[in-house]
Amino acid sequence: MSKALYELTLHAAWAALQRGDFSAVELTQSLLDRIAQVDGQVNAYLTVTAELALAQAAAADDRRSRGETAPLLGIPLAVKDVLCTEGVRTTCGSRILEHFIPPYTATAVHRLAAAGMVLLGKTNTDEFAMGSSTENSGYFPTHNPWDLARVPGGSSGGSGAAVAAQMAMAALGSDTGGSVRLPASYCGVVGLKPSYGRVSRYGLVAYGSSLDQIGVLAKDVRDAALLLGVIAGQDPHDSTTMPAPVPPYSQLLSEDVRGLRIGLPDEYFVEGLQPEVNAAVQAAIDVLAGLGAEVVRISLPNTDKALPVYYLVATAEASANLARFDGVRYGFSADSANILDNYRDSRGQGFGAEVKRRIMLGTYVLSAGYYDAYYLKAQQVRTLIKQDFESAFTQVDLIASPVAPTTAFRLGEKVDDPLAMYLSDLFTIPLNLAGMCGISVPCGFDAQGLPIGLQLMGPHLGEATLLRAAHAYEQATPWHSRWA
């Protein structure tokens, strides 16, 4: 039986469009029909831009007929709702921005558009990207396409679920402490977090500015490489972007990992790991060894401090970043008697419980008398964590580990226990503190049929090697070709 158009990978769809097998309008319609059919149960989208998508698709067909061949010409994609899109509502999963229409577009989205993308819509997220399940969305939770009673992971859970349920060919997400890799792992798709400074954060609504990075969720590694090539690179609007040239990632995906040294950190293979996750990751490492990689044990000794350091740094930065939502400049404004009440009521009613928790924590750790004990100390320990990685990368080319200790948990299971929720990010957070790059690649299923993710981590700007190893692994295994 031939595949429905929505089932194609991005690169296969692009080649078919190029051959004239079908039009971008037909492809887009197939995705929109799929959304209409499935999203009532999954709830991946906060906003579907159907009319805009069909108009963009028609324009793409027109451009193609005039000989244009841009790398995403006519390809329907989704964008996490923390990225500004001019003229299209951008809520950050928060009630405070329910009716916010940005006056400009994020650089990463702009680059996709310039490469010919068709925008299908904006995906659900934990409020301001704070969470690991999308249950902190101010609108509704997203459901995992593999088991609707379970979470898709977060905070880019809408993007993960949209790609996994084939309601988008790929999607953008953001990763501050794991928010691209975790949903990719729980939803059985590929999730790439680039190095800090590789992709412009301009137009990404800031959560933890020293940790945030835009990433991609895709059906396979080739699609992820292609998208990174489009969005990466220096941007005058973000002074933290690196001037380093963008390698031709797609062309550097060779099958060969022979001689690559892959480190297994002792601290990531610990008690509490779901046995099936451990087994699947060990089997993945055997596959990589079978392909010629050299596997060595390493140590990242400060791993146990990453979670507390993250929750000091991220909340401190969040408390400052979120001060701009004051009921005056953006979005929701309460109907209050005077300006002070208006600040209090707008924020009090507009923000959800988790966001308030983070703002309070962050304000506390930055306050006079506590700054040295908490924030400054956290920054010092952050340096030690970064040094762990730097020293590991003198011995190995890449590091392998599970993405998360378990597969997707049940909706509601952790909502009343923030600490249990925070633990889902145990293996993803250290990399953000170090500013390095990582990827989640499907590596099997547990007894319940839930996907498991293998995490590969690379040094700063090591994306080409990371993608090459992920691609070699993927091509040697069947996991990426199974769909919910």
**For ligand GLN, the closer CB: 28 or 174:** 174
For binding to ligand GLN (CB under 6 A), which residues are involved?
Answer: 129-132, 155, 175-179, 207, 314, 425
Structural element, H or E, at residue 170:
strand 170-174
Cβ 308 vs Cβ 373: under 8 Å = no
Cβ 398 vs Cβ 295: under 8 Å = no
Q: Please give the Cα distance from 6 to 56 (Å, whole number).
A: 17
Least Å distance, CB 175 to ligand GLN, is 5
Query: Active site includes 179?
Result: yes
**For ligand GLN, the closer CB: 178 or 458:** 178
On the CB side of 65, CA atoms within 13 Å amount to 9
Q: Please give the Cα distance from 377 to 361 (Å, whole number).
A: 15
Least Å distance, CB 173 to ligand GLN, is 9
Structural element, H or E, at residue 246:
none
Query: Active site includes 80?
Result: yes
Least Å distance, CB 396 to ligand GLN, is 25
**Beta pairing partners, 453:** 442
**For ligand GLN, the closer CB: 49 or 407:** 407
Which of 180, 140, 178 lies closest to 44, judged by CA? 140
Least Å distance, CB 136 to ligand GLN, is 8
**For ligand GLN, the closer CB: 156 or 465:** 156
Cβ 184 vs Cβ 144: under 8 Å = no
**For ligand GLN, the closer CB: 132 or 455:** 132
DSSP string of 63-114?
A: HHHTT---TTTT-EEEEETTB-BTTB---TT-GGGTT---SS--HHHHHHHH
**For ligand GLN, the closer CB: 311 or 473:** 311
Q: Please give the Cα distance from 382 to 380 (Å, whole number).
A: 5
**Beta pairing partners, 455:** 401, 440
Query: Active site includes 2?
Result: no
Least Å distance, CB 336 to ligand GLN, is 30
**Residue 210 burial (CB count, 10 A):** 17
Least Å distance, CB 311 to ligand GLN, is 8
Tell me the catalytic residues.
80, 155, 179
